[in-house]
Amino acid sequence: MLSHILLGTNNLEASRQFYDAVLGILGAPSASHIQVNGFERHVWDHDGTRLMIATPRDGQPCTHYNGFTLGFKTTSIEQLHRALDAALAHGGVAIEDPAGWRKAPGNDRYLAYVRDPAGHKLCLMFREIWAQPALAGTTA
């Protein structure tokens, strides 16, 4: 359903380093650098999703927005913790409850929340169902 997500930043290089570190652990290649109508962007393409970062085109400072969370799927709890460690080592700030299981009927998930250098709220998520191989003849 989504084609891309673009996040604003006031420090393009700090955000590029942050996302290169975190998304690299999740399997994405390093960002490519593009210009769109004279505005710089860094772009990550992975598993059919595109994430871009850029300074705001209106010249006003970037601010994070309350109520928005960008979720990243991980393939294991270990990968989630590696991505969280990379986020914290590259200017991220851990927020909310510590990383751990959130139990709900039919929706158990292991989560960690962090803010990126621009203040955007990210969720790293693992679900056991994502780690299980698909049964022959079925679709996920």
Q: What are phi and psi of 6, to 5 degrees?
A: -120, 125
The whole-chain average pLDDT of the chain stands at: 91
Measure the CA–CA gap between 70 and 44, rounded to whole angstroms. 14
Digit-coded pLDDT (tens) for 48-100: 999 999 999 888 999 888 788 999 999 999 999 999 999 999 999 999 999 99
| Closest by Cα among 40, 9, 1 to 117 | 9
In the chain, what are the domains?
4-55+68-131 (3.10.180.10)
pTM of structure:
0.85
